[in-house]
A and B are shown apart, each in its own frame.
Chain A
Amino acid sequence: MSYLTLSLTLIFVLIPLILSRTLKLGLEKDTIIATVRSIIQLLAVGYVLQYVFETDNIIFILLMILLMIGAATQNARRKGTSIRGITWKLVITFIFIEVLTQSILLGLNIVPPTPQYIIPISGMVIGNSMVLGILFLNRFTAEVENLQDETELILTLGGTPKQAIHTQLITSIKASTIPTIESQKTIGLVQLPGMMSGQIIAGADPVQAVQFQLLILFILLTTAVVTSIMLGYLSYPTLFNQRMQFLKLRS
């Protein structure tokens, strides 16, 4: 696609702008900001990727992955400010999930060890791990808050912190992973997944595209479940002290 044809696609930005103007929706400013940002950000990423692919240097690959982890942490930690040390808990989770998935993919030769594969897959893994982290933290802090009396009751009866928080932990792990599992049940029926559509448009064989999409889906299952469980087990001990006393969530 040439930049000329690409600029024609701005028509799709113009339509909402005109509608917003006529109906006084007040969406013009945000629409323009969103458009400009997406153009700059994606073009920048495109050129960076082009450079990284050409140089094929492990340092650049690592740097890109670290950048992704940094951005994901920055995003997710805002949902977990009430949990002590949430930043490094997220960093550890993202690193773990990245290392786990890449070692399986590369170790078993499922994909070739080139930046063309490593970087996009890492992006999907870390991006989804971030979303899962946010879902989990939202739910978990709400559950902990709502069931404070139950937690205290179990402690009073001689339960351990783990027992006192078990219901909240399991509920939150399940609630945050269910959307991932559910969405896979209907995938392909209503909407073609973005990555697959992209590949098909770019000219790939549909069956090949499906194979890669399946690979990604399965990776995302692991990502979802491992992220929630890991964050949960890293987070709950900070709600208690050495004397097995329940500490209030930081507000």
Chain B
Amino acid sequence: MIQAAVEFQNVHYSADGLHILKNITGAFPFGKITTLVGPSGAGKSTLFKLCNGLRSPDSGEILIKGTSIDSYDPVELRRKVGIALQSATMVKGSVLENLELPLTLQGKKIDIEFALELLHDVGLEGEFLERNAKELSGGQRQKLSIARTLVNKPEVLLLDEITSSLDRVSQRDIEELIEKINEKYGTTMIWITHNLEQALRIGHFTWVMMNGELIESGESSLLKNPRDKRVQDFVKGEVE
């Protein structure tokens, strides 16, 4: 049995009277890449916010490396479990200031060599450092957002549709980068994607969520032969 990096036990979550996550039970294996797919509105992004302590479940337990999420200090937890948000939000300021943000928050400065290396890893030129982050294109913001999430060197990385605005070549580059980090540091990856081919290609494991429920989970090959009728329809609809 592979130990779970993140485990959900009967987790329910509602907001504004909406039952968003319904009785989620399942595990994200340690040191593996798990892809998370499902129609939009299924509750995938919300599930991430629970993993990183930005929201708390109404009931049920979330365990991080076997320990209840409530026993972690929120700041420590969020550095350990990093999210690259779907919105790839940037704060006012330069690319460098945005990249450095995780360290600025700890009263530290980024080493320029490290900054350049991160930019290079995600496929951004070094000359971007002084550019205004708010003026980057959607794809460039996604790349910068990934690089920024790596600054904290998280043990678990939650990636929310991080390649949705990227061209095919950049998509592949990012996939390779994530696989490289996963292999080199054993970082557990959970990757939300609406691209089922990508989910199959890079995932060791896959979760399929629909309408707030976890419908099917297992090795990513399940996407080729889903058991559940709803998942079959979803996969067909997405592939065609």
Q: Are A160 and B82 in contact (CB under 8 A)?
A: no
Q: Are A245 and B101 in contact (CB under 8 A)?
A: no
Q: Are A245 and B82 in contact (CB under 8 A)?
A: no
Q: Are B78 and A246 in contact (CB under 8 A)?
A: no
A160 (CB) vs chain B CBs: closest residue: B75
* Cross-chain contact of A155 among B70, B78, B92 (Cβ < 8 A): B78
A24 at the interface (CB under 8 A from B): no
A167 at the interface (CB under 8 A from B): yes
Convert B97-131 into 0s and 1s, putting 1 for each residue whose CB lies closer than 8 angstroms to a CB of A.
Answer: 00001100110000000000000000000000000
Interface residues of B, count at CB 8 A: 25
Beta-carbon contacts under 8 Å, A106-163 to B: 149-150, 152-160, 163
Bound CA span A163–B75, Å: 12
Q: Are B101 and A246 in contact (CB under 8 A)?
A: no
Bound CA span A163–B70, Å: 22
B79 (CB) vs chain A CBs: closest residue: A158
In the complex, chain B residues whose CB is within 8 Å of the CB of A243: 53, 56, 70, 74
A244 at the interface (CB under 8 A from B): yes
B87 (CB) vs chain A CBs: closest residue: A149
In the complex, chain A residues whose CB is within 8 Å of the CB of B148: 157
B74 (CB) vs chain A CBs: closest residue: A244
Interface residues of A, count at CB 8 A: 17
In the complex, chain A residues whose CB is within 8 Å of the CB of B74: 243-245
- The answer to whether A154 and B105 touch (CB under 8 A), given A160-B75, A243-B74, A244-B75, is yes
Q: Are B92 and A167 in contact (CB under 8 A)?
A: yes
Q: Are A156 and B105 in contact (CB under 8 A)?
A: no
Q: Looking at the assembled complex, report how far the CB atom of A48 sits from the nearest CB atom of chain B, in whole angstroms.
A: 48
In the complex, chain A residues whose CB is within 8 Å of the CB of B53: 243-245
A149 (CB) vs chain B CBs: closest residue: B89
A150 (CB) vs chain B CBs: closest residue: B91
In the complex, chain B residues whose CB is within 8 Å of the CB of A246: 54
Q: Looking at the assembled complex, report how far the CB atom of A250 sits from the nearest CB atom of chain B, in whole angstroms.
A: 12
Bound CA span A163–B104, Å: 10
B52 at the interface (CB under 8 A from A): yes
Convert A210-245 into 0s and 1s, putting 1 for each residue whose CB lies closer than 8 angstroms to a CB of B.
Answer: 000000000000000000000000000000000111
- The answer to whether A156 and B85 touch (CB under 8 A), given A167-B92, A243-B74, A244-B75, is yes
Convert B134-166 into 0s and 1s, putting 1 for each residue whose CB lies closer than 8 angstroms to a CB of A.
Answer: 000000000000001100100000000000000
* Cross-chain contact of B105 among A152, A163, A167 (Cβ < 8 A): A163
Which A residues are within 8 Å of any B CB, using their own CB?
A: 149-150, 152-160, 163, 167, 243-246
Given contacts A156-B54, A159-B75, A245-B74, 19 further A-B contacts (CB under 8 A): A149-B87, A149-B89, A155-B54, A156-B78, A156-B83, A157-B79, A157-B101, A157-B102, A157-B148, A157-B149, A158-B78, A158-B106, A160-B75, A167-B91, A167-B92, A243-B56, A244-B74, A245-B55, A245-B56
